[in-house]
Amino acid sequence: MIPLSTAQEGSLVRVVNVMSGKGLMLRLAELGITPGSIVRVVKVFGSGPILLDVKGSRIAIGRGAAMKIFVEVIGGER
């Protein structure tokens, strides 16, 4: 299990846990990022945001939020 912030571009990951307050958890749930969700890391912008593909939608999240989302890698780059 690793923080989403350290996942490589192109990785397919499964969300295992979100270690955050209620506000961020609700916001992520609205975006479809909940434990069990499958997410592809599309682009990592250095120390900035991370672009994700969640259920066919492109979503950018900040590095701070990504550090609180713990994932397991289930597939490599495509």
Residues near 51 by Cβ (< 8 Å), separated by ≥ 6?
A: 41, 42, 43, 44, 45, 58, 59, 60
Q: How many domains does the chain have?
A: 1
Mean pLDDT of 39-59: 95
Q: What percent of the chain has pLDDT over 70?
A: 97
Using alpha carbons, list the distances in angstroms from residue 16 to 33, 48, 72: 10, 23, 7
Average pLDDT of the chain is: 94
Which has the higher per-residue pLDDT, 44 or 78? 44
Which CATH number belongs to the domain containing residue 39 in this structure? 2.30.30.90
pLDDT at residue 46 is higher than 90: no
Range of the domain at 51: 2-75
Q: Where are the beta strands (DSSP E) in 1-78?
A: 2-3, 12-18, 38-44, 50-54, 57-61, 69-75
Neighbouring C-beta atoms of residue 65, cutoff 10 Å: 19
Mean pLDDT of 14-36: 95
